[in-house]
A and B are shown apart, each in its own frame.
Chain A
Amino acid sequence: MIRPSERLPDPQLLESAMVRTAAEPLPLSRLRAGDRGIIVELQANGDAAHRLQEIGLCRGREIRVFRPGNPCIVHVGGSKLCLRADHVQILVELIEPGVVAVGGRRHRHRCRHGRGGAD
């Protein structure tokens, strides 16, 4: 099946994802291993932001945390990035477990960690 929206910014689907996620956007540093979310904001000076976006960390894309912390390891698109975000704030809208989120993917990672959270 074709699910282009899963990895790509699409304002409409971004909106729908926002509806489905109950929690406030969290900074990336607060996410745990296996957490999935949609990047809603990237706060950095123009140049740093441009670079991070080009490498794939831009608004509306799905991000999955592989190793939390600073530096952290995240999955974005098809790539795995190591990231130390000292002067960058990345806000992520969590995709809650059990919710059929953008692109219809279920989230076994969240279930495994058993983090109930805001619901």
Chain B
Amino acid sequence: MSVASEKRCITVALLGNPNTGKSTLFSALVGIYQRVGNYPGVTVEKRTGRFRYQGRNFEAVDLPGLYSLAVRSRDELVAVQVLLGQEKGVPPVDVIVCVVDASNLERNIYLVGQVLGLGIPTVVALTMVDVAQRRGISIDTEALCRALGVPVVPVQAHLSKGLEALEEAISRAVESPPEPRSPSLPDVLIAETDRLAERLAEKGLLAAVCRERAVMHVHDVAEAASPSQEMTADDGNGVADPSAAASGGVRPDWQTRFWVERLLLDQSGFLQNQFFGKDAPVAGRLIQEARAEIAARGVPVYEIEVESRYRWVAEVLRDVVTYPEEDEGTFTDRLDAVLMHRFWGTLIFALVMTVMFQAVFRAAEPFSQAIDWGVQSLAGLASQAIPTGAMHSLVVDGVLSGVGAVLTFVPQIAILFAFIAVLEDCGYIARSAYLMDRFMARIGLSGKSFIPMLSSFACAVPGIMATRTIENERDRLTTILIAPLMTCSARLPVYGLLIYVFIPDHRYLWGMVSLRGLVLTGLYAIGIGVAVVVALLLKRVFFRGSPPSFVLELPAYKFPSPRTVFLRVWERVVVFVRNAGTLILAVSIVVWALLYYPHNAEIVEAPYAAELEQLRERLDHLPADAPDRQSVQARLAELQSEIQTAYQRQSWMGRLGRLMEPVFRPLGWDWRIGTAVVASFPAREVVVATLGVMFNLGGSESDPDAASEQRAGELHARLQAAVWEGTDRPVFNIPVALSIMVFFALCAQCAATLAVIRRETNSLFWPIFTFTYMTTLAYCAALVTYQVGFRILGG
């Protein structure tokens, strides 16, 4: 029977254990044109791409790495729903390519055993054959093929070997769909599954099994009536009408049957809650009865699947694989003997991290400067091209300064991710989790949280994205919530400015330790210290319960694949830039508008108009070389920046700032600092520019070509000279500077971070929670800093 008509795209799902080279194989199949997104409602990465073989189109879906089809989390649920054709947005899977690591056959074949139970055409792609050979493991591919009853194709994706054979096998497999079989499960389980399905149907609960997405799927099928459905229908186990299954008496379709079996075996209660909601207790009783029935035969339920499947695996592999007589230590073991050594390993790890951070800050600098220069020149061009007015201000002050400030961080993010991608691909990242686990366990997290935290020292956005590798939902949330407390590179401009201006350059211990360095270190320490406390509190209050045991596979070391590294970095940068291009742009425009409008020229400029006119007139009449000319020009510039400030005062944001001054006053801030801090909500580094504007620097009105160093010096002088309005008391002193820095160490003034938390947690609650708790914390800490500092150091 002609299954897939020529015009239709054949859907191929890639499934396999983590670290089997699945993603490498995927890239080799579809090339670099991959679409990366999320499945609706969850943060599971959805990666698809297309390839052609002999005139047929194939759509490949790369599923997340799984050890088993046992579903206990939303992420796993999505992966399995894709396989069963129950995930909207993904057409029903025609062929499963099971990627199997030849050097670890038992556990990989375990998953194959589960896949065979689905009754979807399956091809086994055998990877890491070279690694297995080096270890002296020999595998009889033919025999494996016979034992499994599905084609087995050895591939070496990084060398593009075996790809054509795999494509051939895939397109053949579509033609001959197999019977679903549970070769590895005992009869008692199969019988109990059917019984449970019947009982659930009697109570009218069977329809609830995988209801949400299944409904969508049936709808899709009705619409598309694709040939693949004929295929399964011909086979006698097609997608039966779910209403028939629900009404009871009819044998449930194979998907429903799969879910009932999983319900029976799932001890975590995840599926039960997922499917039945408020009916969970009723369903739970039925499930418990079925489990008791099985247990009565002498096997605990949780062991029945694993034991019987592994027994089946042993049978399959009996005539297939030969192990070496003596297992001499592998290259990986010899390397691990040093790298995982308690002393040397930790030392090397510290060294690697130091090099990484140096690279992030040093190597990124020229690129950041180039981008900054580009944005500045663009601003210069725009200043000239667009006539003064709202549009001019919007482009220069709103769009370019806001988005530009964020874009300068792209090189840092790219370099950081290149490092992490290389370390991950060669297998070191998993080891770092081992090395840091002991420390992380003390704050109730596991080693897996370490890399996200580390990345957050460069930028919290990639750090939070890196939490995807943490399976435990509570650990993941805790890590996401404390990651923004790490001192990211965006805080450095703020610290740099304030430390340089206000902290005296005292040196101790023969000049080796400087007060400025100590303050900077102290600010890093505050971030880390507070993160530890918050993590402990979250674990005590929000996420109670015993921490799960922590298991992580340490893959064999290998040379990193340039293509994988490039793709990983490219994807992250695109996500970051897209963020900067949308959300940050929007927030920048809003903040700009609040600082610009109502822009009432008559009211604001009236008090200055007379003097301005007078000065201009004098300037016109003065000869070009008159000695007075310079002082008049200076006065004119001063007047113009005063007008600028008057506009700030009159703006909505300025009014808000003055309204909120009582709130800021206990921190030692006047309304201008307060406004600058509030206006830096989109990105904290913006505060430097805003302070410049607020304290009469003229901001972007000044010549954009002026050397930035000169401008910085000017800003320093202005800040030191600034006084409280109507008095001659200086606004800034050491306690004020410290309180601002402490505030910025702990606040969540970063729209990009909040946006990524929103995306990664798929909820509005957590970004709001993060912003609230961090701002409260920042306020309190700044308050304490100022009040204590004020009493010790005096105004």
State which of A49, A84, A106 has its C-beta within 8 Å of the C-beta of B302. Answer: A49
Q: Mark B431-451, 1 if CB is under 8 A from A, else 0.
A: 101100110010000110000
Q: Which residues of B contact A22 (CB under 8 A)?
A: none
Question: Does any Cβ of B come within 8 Å of A1's Cβ?
Answer: yes
Q: Mark A8-43, 1 if CB is under 8 A from B, else 0.
A: 111000000000000000000000000000000000
Q: Which residues of B contact A8 (CB under 8 A)?
A: 106, 310-311, 313-314, 317
State which of B67, B314, B434, B441 has its C-beta within 8 Å of the C-beta of A82. Answer: B434
Residues of B306-355 at the interface with A, using a CB-CB cut-off of 8 Å, are 306-307, 310-311, 313-314, 317-319, 321-323, 325-327, 332-333, 336, 340
CA distance A66 to B110 in the complex (A): 24
CA distance A56 to B109 in the complex (A): 12
Looking at chain A, what size class is its interface with the partner chain?
A: 35 or more
Given A8-B313, A53-B306, A86-B546, A79 contacting B72 (CB threshold 8 A):
no
CA distance A50 to B269 in the complex (A): 13
Indicate if the CB atoms of B553 and A55 lie closer than 8 Å.
Answer: yes
Q: Mark A75-94, 1 if CB is under 8 A from B, else 0.
A: 00111111111111000000
Q: Mark B292-312, 1 if CB is under 8 A from A, else 0.
A: 000000001111011100110
Indicate if the CB atoms of B307 and A9 lie closer than 8 Å.
Answer: yes
Indicate if the CB atoms of A84 and B104 lie closer than 8 Å.
Answer: no
CA distance A56 to B105 in the complex (A): 11
Indicate if the CB atoms of A58 and B310 lie closer than 8 Å.
Answer: yes
Indicate if the CB atoms of A78 and B302 lie closer than 8 Å.
Answer: no
Question: Does any Cβ of A come within 8 Å of B101's Cβ?
Answer: yes
Indicate if the CB atoms of A9 and B549 lie closer than 8 Å.
Answer: no
- Counting residue pairs across A and B whose Cβ atoms lie within 8 Å, the total is 151
Question: Does any Cβ of B come within 8 Å of A110's Cβ?
Answer: no
Given A4-B314, A9-B307, A73-B340, A82 contacting B433 (CB threshold 8 A):
yes
Nearest CB of A to B274, in Å: 14
CA distance A13 to B101 in the complex (A): 26
Q: Which residues of B contact A108 (CB under 8 A)?
A: 326
Given A71-B447, A73-B340, A106-B326, A80 contacting B554 (CB threshold 8 A):
yes
State which of A7, A50, A88 has its C-beta within 8 Å of the C-beta of B70. Answer: A50
Question: Does any Cβ of B come within 8 Å of A48's Cβ?
Answer: yes
Q: Mark A87-119, 1 if CB is under 8 A from B, else 0.
A: 110000000000000000110100000000000
Q: Which residues of B contact A73 (CB under 8 A)?
A: 336, 340, 434, 554
Tally of chain B residues near chain A (CB < 8 A): 60
Name A76's closest neighbour in chain B (CB-CB): B107
State which of A51, A82, A86 has its C-beta within 8 Å of the C-beta of B430. Answer: A82
Nearest CB of A to B268, in Å: 4
Given A59-B303, A73-B336, A78-B105, A50 contacting B553 (CB threshold 8 A):
no
Indicate if the CB atoms of B318 and A46 lie closer than 8 Å.
Answer: no
Indicate if the CB atoms of A67 and B307 lie closer than 8 Å.
Answer: no
Name A77's closest neighbour in chain B (CB-CB): B106
Residues of B107-145 at the interface with A, using a CB-CB cut-off of 8 Å, are 107, 110, 137
Indicate if the CB atoms of B302 and A46 lie closer than 8 Å.
Answer: yes
Residues of B70-96 at the interface with A, using a CB-CB cut-off of 8 Å, are 70, 72
Indicate if the CB atoms of A71 and B548 lie closer than 8 Å.
Answer: no
Q: Which residues of A contact B437 (CB under 8 A)?
A: 71, 82, 84
Q: Which residues of A contact B551 (CB under 8 A)?
A: 51-52, 55, 57, 81-84
Q: Which residues of B contact A3 (CB under 8 A)?
A: 323
Indicate if the CB atoms of B301 and A46 lie closer than 8 Å.
Answer: yes
Indicate if the CB atoms of B322 and A71 lie closer than 8 Å.
Answer: no
Given A78-B105, A83-B549, A55 contacting B67 (CB threshold 8 A):
yes
State which of B104, B322, B325 has its C-beta within 8 Å of the C-beta of A79. Answer: B104
Q: Which residues of A contact B336 (CB under 8 A)?
A: 66, 73, 80
Question: Does any Cβ of A come within 8 Å of B401's Cβ?
Answer: no
Question: Does any Cβ of A come within 8 Å of B552's Cβ?
Answer: yes
18 additional A-B pairs beyond A50-B265, A83-B551, beta carbons within 8 Å, are A7-B323, A8-B106, A8-B317, A47-B72, A54-B110, A54-B306, A56-B106, A58-B306, A71-B550, A78-B105, A78-B107, A80-B332, A81-B551, A82-B431, A83-B549, A84-B441, A84-B549, A88-B549
List A residues at the B interface (Cβ < 8 Å). 1-10, 44-59, 66-67, 71, 73, 77-88, 105-106, 108
**17 A/B residue pairs, CB under 8 Å, sorted by A:** A5-B314, A45-B267, A47-B72, A48-B548, A50-B267, A51-B72, A53-B306, A55-B67, A59-B303, A71-B434, A77-B106, A79-B104, A81-B551, A82-B551, A84-B549, A86-B550, A105-B327
